[in-house]
Amino acid sequence: MTARRSASLQLDLPGIAGAAARGAGEHEAVAGACEALAPGAVVLRGFARACADEIRDALAEIVAAAPFRHMTTPGNRRMSVAMTNCGAFGWFSDRSGYRYSAVDPDSGRPWPPMPAVIATLGAEAAAAAGFAGFEPDACLVNRYAPGTQLSLHQDKDERDFDAPIVSVSLGVPATFLFGGLRRRDPLARVRLEHGDVVVWGGPARLRYHGIARLAAAEHPFAGSERVNLTLRRAQ
């Protein structure tokens, strides 16, 4: 992973360049760790830390236009994770199933555009993990309050499984559950903290995964909440 680590130091993302310029400690925190979780799954510890405040400001605008909501599953269950989207397409769930749509079904308007800070972070993280040319067209924003969980699932509503999914964890830490290609496969537990970015592609792209019930904790990003962005190529 050494070559990719040095590649991640060449980012022209303003926040990351700024952190690198501020000193070796922060620079290490941003670019110091690139671990392979599994074939196709790469964790970039702290990769989003330097641009987290910029993302928070962008999220405030997104949420003003497309508020968080608890979607309904096809089985008529209310999801405990609150969700919204930005980008050309947004993922949603209702009684009819799961799908991507260019319009927010709650407002009838297009989803808010994907801020450049988010699109660039996704492209740079994907490139650092070996997926050059990733251009996300959808960003699902998940909000977890204490006690919220996301049950085990696969992400398979996208058109092209060759594109990776990039996830950005913000706020309080969570335990990510990482399974295999079959629901009953054993689960690995991975702690995801504020600023951690994970790129899921290739053979990891269709693995089952979920988030364990969020423990009570506090973090300056969003108090007791965890926010996760998943950047996707939907169409």
Which partner, Fe ion, ligand MD3, none, binds residue 158 by CB below 5 to 8 Å per kind? none
Among 142, 148, 179, 196, binds ligand MD3 (CB under 6 A): 142
- Plot region of 51 (φ>0 → left; ψ -120 to 50 → alpha; else → beta): alpha
Residue 93 or 101 with smaller CB distance to Fe ion: 93
β partners of residue 174: 192
Position of minimal CB gap to ligand MD3: 228
Closest distance of CB 108 from ligand MD3, Å: 24
Residue 26 or 155 with smaller CB distance to Fe ion: 155
Residue 124 or 155 with smaller CB distance to ligand MD3: 155
The answer to the question of residue 89 lying near ligand MD3 (CB under 6 A) is no
Can you tell me the distance from the alpha carbon of 226 to that of 52, in angstroms, rounded to the nearest whole number?
A: 13
Residue 44 or 211 with smaller CB distance to ligand MD3: 211
> What's the angle, vertex CA 141, arms to CA 124 and CA 133, rounded to 5?
25
Closest distance of CB 136 from Fe ion, Å: 15
Which of these, 44, 58, 53, lies nearest to 171 by C-alpha position? Answer: 53
Among 51, 204, 214, 222, binds ligand MD3 (CB under 6 A): 204
Which of these, 105, 134, 107, lies nearest to 118 by C-alpha position? Answer: 134
3-state secondary structure of 158: coil
Closest distance of CB 150 from ligand MD3, Å: 5
Closest distance of CB 109 from ligand MD3, Å: 22
In what order do the strands lie in the sheet containing 150-153? 150-153, 209-211, 174-178, 188-192
Strands 209-211 and 174-178: antiparallel
Residue 28 or 193 with smaller CB distance to ligand MD3: 193
Closest distance of CB 200 from ligand MD3, Å: 4
β partners of residue 194: none
Residue 51 or 140 with smaller CB distance to ligand MD3: 140
β partners of residue 128: none
Q: What mask of x and - would describe binding to Fe ion in positions 131 to 160, judged by CB under 5 A? A: ------------------------x-----
With beta carbons less than 8 A apart as the criterion, state whether 48 and 161 touch. Answer: no
**Phi, psi angle pair for 89, to nearest 5°:** -130, 150
CA 132 from chain centre, in angstroms, equals 18
Closest distance of CB 168 from ligand MD3, Å: 9
Chain positions contacting ligand MD3, by CB under 6 A: 140, 142, 150, 155, 165, 167, 198, 200, 204-205, 207, 209, 211, 228, 230
